[in-house]
Amino acid sequence: MRAAVSIIHETPSAAPPVTSEVGRGLGGWQWATANEASWLAPADAAARLVAVSDSEVPRPAIEVRGLRKVYDDREVVRGVDLTVERGAILGLLGPNGAGKTTTVEILEGHRRRTAGEVKVLGHDPERGGAGFRERIGIVLQQGGVEPYLTVEEVIDATRGYYPRPLPTEELIATVGLEARARVRVRRLSGGQRRRLELALALCGDPELLFLDEPTLGFDPLARRSAWAAIRTLRERGTTVLLTTNSMEEADALADRLAIMVDGRIVASGTPSDLVGRRATGAVVRFPLPDGVAMPQSLTRYLATSRDGTMELRSSDPVLLLSELTSWALASGVRLEGLTVAPRSLEDVYLELIEEAREPEEPVER
């Protein structure tokens, strides 16, 4: 384990030592390690390195324990525990009504909790005040920007709300809008406007960024451009909490995922870990020709059937394919578009939701 260190410069006077925090990047501090610190320390004998204890290492960006939220008699967040380390991207996933939006609004300080402990950048967001809000950035699913100002003008105006804003040129470059800097907002494409909203959220150089469906409605090219901008933020030390319904986006961006169903976190881990825990077997998909019925012997493998496309799953794909192709050959059925693939994050996500959902109580009549 690598020990974190502070660099303390001893002054000849009786004044207290000054601690130097090393490597300020956009969105957070990076702390030198014991192995890295030799080149950071001054050459004179007055400097010394002091290893810090675990209690002095920067705390996680988000710490949540036993979070609950009740509306009237309905509990929408039910004992959530969540930790997001600094400089990481956490993807918060879940179906509509899972409690994601309420949880994020509590973390942002926009909604009061019923119970539980919440620390965001070391603060209780309910009592964070202006100093706390200057350290976070928020990109809502649907934002609003003055359409008759240029990109530069909108960013300059927003920078005025922060005591130490990032330079306009740096913000524009971070989101890849250099060629559109003097274009009015109303002439931007949907993807470009969304990137502008990201730049506005970054104006105050936030340590923590909340992203809600950041690429909703983007074409594939615009989506990948936005992903590149988000990865740049992570490289610079910004912590990101991402909510998205796109499994492709979650897999591409998130260091860790938390899947929320009915107000609870039902699974968490890296994307590869979540898939790996349930990675046995494969998924076989094919469109069933019109007028053809699948034999009863294969229905035990059937997972879903949508618009005539069969999806079969098995922990023994060789056996499944043997039975499927034997039936097709004997029956003269052509399986056009047959595909075999390992289980995806989306497969695991849907399975976890199905397992975790509580059955609805019967309605008394």
For 209-219, write each residue's pLDDT tens digit: 999 988 887 78
Distance of alpha carbon 184 from alpha carbon 182, whole angstroms: 7
Looking at residue 351, its pLDDT comes to 84
Could you tell me the CA-to-CA distances from 272 to 300, 347, 354 in Å, in that order? Answer: 28, 13, 20
Domain residue limits, the chain: 5-56, 62-135+206-275, 280-342
Over the chain, what is the mean pLDDT? Answer: 82
Are 28 and 239 in contact by the 8 Å Cβ rule? The answer is yes
Could you tell me the CA-to-CA distances from 228 to 26, 174, 252 in Å, in that order? Answer: 15, 9, 10
Domain 62-135+206-275: which topology?
Rossmann fold (3.40.50)
Contacts of 348 (CB under 8 A, 6+ apart): 274, 275, 277, 278
pTM value is 0.72
Q: Kindly tell me if the per-residue pLDDT of 37 is higher than 80.
A: no
8-state DSSP, 357:
P
Distance of alpha carbon 149 from alpha carbon 271, whole angstroms: 41
As a whole-number percent, the residues of the chain with pLDDT over 90 amount to 49
Looking at residue 142, its pLDDT comes to 67
Distance of alpha carbon 143 from alpha carbon 199, whole angstroms: 12
Report the range of poorest mean pLDDT among 2-11, 105-114, 308-317.
2-11
CA atoms within 13 A on the CB side of 348: 28
Looking at residue 247, its pLDDT comes to 92
Q: Kindly tell me if the per-residue pLDDT of 119 is higher than 60.
A: yes
Q: pLDDT digits over 126-166, tens only?
A: 998 888 999 999 987 666 788 999 999 999 999 999 999 99
For range 295-312, the mean pLDDT? 87
Q: pLDDT digits over 171-199, tens only?
A: 998 888 999 999 999 999 888 888 898 89
Q: What's the N-to-C CA distance of the chain in angstroms? A: 62
Looking at residue 88, its pLDDT comes to 96
Looking at residue 21, its pLDDT comes to 37
Pairing state between β 264-269 and 256-261: antiparallel
Looking at residue 139, its pLDDT comes to 87
Looking at residue 344, its pLDDT comes to 85
